[in-house]
Homo-oligomer: A and B are copies of this chain.
Amino acid sequence: MRVIADVNITPLGAGASLSSHVAACEEIIEEAGLKYHLHAHGTNLEGSWEEVMRVIQRCHDVLHERGAPRVDSSIRVATATDKDQSLEERVNKVEKRMR
């Protein structure tokens, strides 16, 4: 099952400056070879259910290794049986409908 996902990962107890931790996650996503798009409140991911969840789990592991005793994620997942979706298409379809 293909998914279009979005994840916002927050390490807790590792200070208020999160950008280096978020960057460590982005590198994991990039190494995994998933299509992704970083935005101001998370990261869009495209791949199979298993790939996407494995990458998010790996980000939790790495943030714990970097010293965060707690890690929280907020994840959105969309699956569809009536069409193949891609990150770009989902954006393009909305933009085309705007006046």
Chain A residues in the interface with B (C-beta under 8 A): 1, 4-6, 8, 10, 12-13, 15-16, 18-20, 22-23, 26-27, 30, 37-42, 44, 46, 49, 53, 56-57, 60-61, 64, 68-82, 87-88, 90-91, 93-99
Contacts and interface: CB of A to CB of B under 8 A. Distances in A.
**Copies of this chain held together in the complex:** 4
B99 A27 contact: yes
A44 to B, nearest CB: 5
14 contacts: A1-B57, A4-B40, A19-B96, A37-B40, A39-B91, A40-B88, A40-B90, A42-B76, A49-B57, A49-B60, A53-B57, A69-B80, A70-B80, A73-B78
A19 B70 CA distance: 13
